[in-house]
Structures are given as structure tokens and as C-alpha cells.
Amino acid sequence: MLGAGGVLYLTPMVFHQAHFSAGRVTEGLALAAVAGTLGRILCGVLLDRGLNCSVPVLMAALIAIAGDIRLIGTEAFGGYLQGQLLLGIAMGLYWPAIELAVPLSCAPVSSARAFALARSADALGIATGALGGALLAWRGLLRGVYVVDITCLLILLLVLLRRALPDPRPQDRLAHPSPLGQWLPALVPMLAITVLATAMPALMQSALPLDLVQGGLMRRALPESLGALTIGLQLGLLLLIQWPVGQALARRPVTTGLTLSLISFALGNLLLAASAFTTWGLPVLLLAQLPLALGEAAFLPTATEAVVELSPIEHQGLAMALLSQCFAISGFGAPLLAGRLLDAQGHAVGLWLLMALACLGGLLLVRDLAPRRTFG
């Protein structure tokens, strides 16, 4: 995640410098989301047939290195799309496998606490990578984020080749899986909530950087280096609160974490919208980073734990693939919507207000969700 932090959050700024429109930047991000769709399902199916979690992660690292190399040296839209395509495929293979590895590796610790710890590790890597990217932007070396990512991926390959991820699932359960109709319908509301909630990280990676460098109605545009630092602030806050928030929510029903997440996202969006209406909007924009970070800290470990509770062990590869697919759906739809609104309106006020209303509406789905451990 250290390498991914710079790539995910600063790629829009890299190609803003290359004079791409907001629409073209977000089209590439949407392509990356679509590219991972088949990879996620394929990965989940193979995991449920006994494939070790290490194999998809190794493949993802190799493909991501190829994508980074393509993005380093291109100024053309075609090269940008090719790099995003490769990164999307890599993410599609990576996430179901790495998410399934958490409950398989955590005994005797509970999976809820393990997901809180895993999300804290993610937050540490992403925050460090984004802050490092801000430093590279300040030095005029913004494309150095791809070099950092390649270095991290090479280290990942070495670690996994020395020690594979464990896979203690009982083979008899894998050979005789439960029918999908017994567990999939109960998972659908959780997947709908995930599509909504994961739109926020997608917008933080795509729309927020563009909003910062374009400016609001009265809020002035920020230079790329200061914009990257603002994003780093939210990621730093996420790093500070991820573990205590995840630990606290691990002892409570998953509906508590999901409710807290959606309310926090709604408040953060309202503050982002409000920041555009004043010349001193930067303090308001900075204040918005706190509820946005709280929303993400509450959602990420809670959502994965809810999926574990709602799916049998022999189908958890597919369940994690479906959860990851929600990230792809929101990663495709949210940037496209954001790009169109930014190009049409010249600011992001409408986008942030729309997301605030959607998050509040998502509370209706949480109200009817009651995950419980029904599978061994």
C-alpha cells in the first residue's frame, strides 16, 4: 500500500500536468475499475477451488509493475489508458486474495480485530505513500510515485516467494460447497451499501485532487504540491484513527460501524461543498478531512467482517470477490460522474451535495441489515 498510496491519489495530478481534461483523467480511472471486474470473479472462483492466496497476489504484483512502467514514460492518452488497464487488472487479482488471507491467517485472534489491524497497515502504507508523493510533487518529480510503487512491488514479490500465505480451509468443505441460494441473498444489501460507501474513496482519489487544483466557486485553486499535501492530511488522520476505531467497532454489531461510516461521509461531503462558497474555504476543506477519514476508518474493517459473517467458508473467496467488485463498480461510476460534473459546472459543489444525500439514504439499507454468524 505504500507504493499504491502515491499512485492512487496522485495519478490525477500527474496527468492534469499533462493537460488532460477532468473527463479524460476520470475515463482512465474508470477503465482501471472495469478491467478488474473479470479478474475479481476469476480470482474468487479459483480461491474457492483451493488455489492458495499467494498466487493471485504474485500475479497482481507483476502486472502492476508493467502498468507503472507504462505510466512513467507516457504523455499520450493511449499510453495512459494502457497503464490504467494493467493497474486495474492487477487490483482485480489482488483484493479478493489478500482479503481472504486475513481471516485464514489470524487465528487465534478474531477476524474482526484482524481486519482492523489489516486496515491499519493499509492506512500506514497509503498515508506514507501519498505524503511521499506530495514531497515528490514539491520537488517537481511527481512521476516518481511510479518508481516508488515498482520498488515496493519488488519487495512484495520477495516476501511472498520466501513465505507463502497460509490456507487452512477444510478440503471437504471446498469439495462440497453450500448452494448459493442459502447465503447470497443475505449478502446483497451489504453489497449495495458497499457500492455507495466505496464511492467516497474513489472520489477522494479522482474528484478531490481535481477539485483542489481547479478551485471552487470562491475558493482559490491550490498548486499541485499543496493539493497533494491536503490529501495526505486525510490519509494521515486515517492512519491515526484506523486502529482505535477498528478496535472499538470490532466489539459491536457491524450495523454500528456502517451507520457511523455513512453519517460521517455525509458530513464530510457537506463540508466539502460548503468550502466552495467562501474565499477562506481552505480551512473548511481541511475540516472536512476529519469526518471523511472517520467514515473510511469505520467502514473498511466493518464491511469485510460483515462479509465473513454472511458467507460460508467454502464460498468466502467468491464473497470477497463480490465485495471487491463493489469497489470496482463505484470506482467506475463515481469518477465518470465526477468528471462530467466537474467539466460541466467548473466546480464540485453539486457532486459533494449529491453524495451527501446518497450517504444519508444509505442508512435505510443499514437498518434492515442484521449479519450474524450462521456458517462455520
Tell whether the model's pLDDT for residue 87 goes beyond 90.
yes
User: Which of the given ranges, 139-143, 230-234, 287-291, has the highest pLDDT on average?
Assistant: 287-291
pLDDT at 216: 72
pLDDT at 376: 46
- 340 versus 61: the higher-pLDDT residue is 61
pLDDT at 29: 81
Tens digit of each residue's pLDDT (9 = 90 or more) over 108-117: 888 888 998 9
Q: Cα–Cα distance between 102 and 117 in angstroms, integer? A: 10
Question: Three cell numbers at 138?
Answer: 514539491
pLDDT at 228: 62
Tell whether the model's pLDDT for residue 208 goes beyond 70.
yes
pLDDT at 352: 92
pLDDT at 199: 92
Q: How confident is the model at residue 374 (pLDDT cuts 50, 70, 90)?
A: very low
pLDDT at 220: 76
Say which amino acid occupies 91: M
Enumerate residues 6+ apart whose C-beta is below 8 A from 6: 129, 130, 132, 133, 136, 145, 148, 149
Mean pLDDT of all residues in the chain? 86
pLDDT at 39: 83
pLDDT at 224: 62
User: Is the separation of the CB atoms in 48 and 317 below 8 Å?
Assistant: yes
Mean pLDDT of 86-99: 92
Tens digit of each residue's pLDDT (9 = 90 or more) over 289-332: 899 999 999 998 999 999 988 888 888 888 999 998 888 788 77
Mean pLDDT of 262-277: 93
Mean pLDDT of 163-173: 76
Q: How confident is the model at residue 85 (pLDDT cuts 50, 70, 90)?
A: very high
Mean pLDDT of 78-82: 92
pLDDT at 2: 92
Check whether domain 2-172+182-367 has CATH 1.20.1250.20, yes or no: yes
Q: How confident is the model at residue 45 (pLDDT cuts 50, 70, 90)?
A: confident
Query: Helices 184-214 and 2-17 meet at what angle, rounded to 10?
Result: 50
Q: How confident is the model at residue 231 (pLDDT cuts 50, 70, 90)?
A: low
Its pTM surpasses 0.85: no
- Listed by start position, the domains of the chain span 2-172+182-367
Q: Cα–Cα distance between 42 and 214 in angstroms, integer? A: 39
User: Is the separation of the CB atoms in 323 and 191 below 8 Å?
Assistant: yes
Q: How confident is the model at residue 49 (pLDDT cuts 50, 70, 90)?
A: confident
Q: Which of 58, 76, 83, 84 is nearest to 331 (CA)?
A: 84
Q: Cα–Cα distance between 313 and 212 in angstroms, integer? A: 44
User: Which of the given ranges, 125-129, 158-162, 280-284, has the highest pLDDT on average?
Assistant: 158-162
Q: Cα–Cα distance between 23 and 187 in angstroms, integer? A: 34
- 206 versus 256: the higher-pLDDT residue is 256
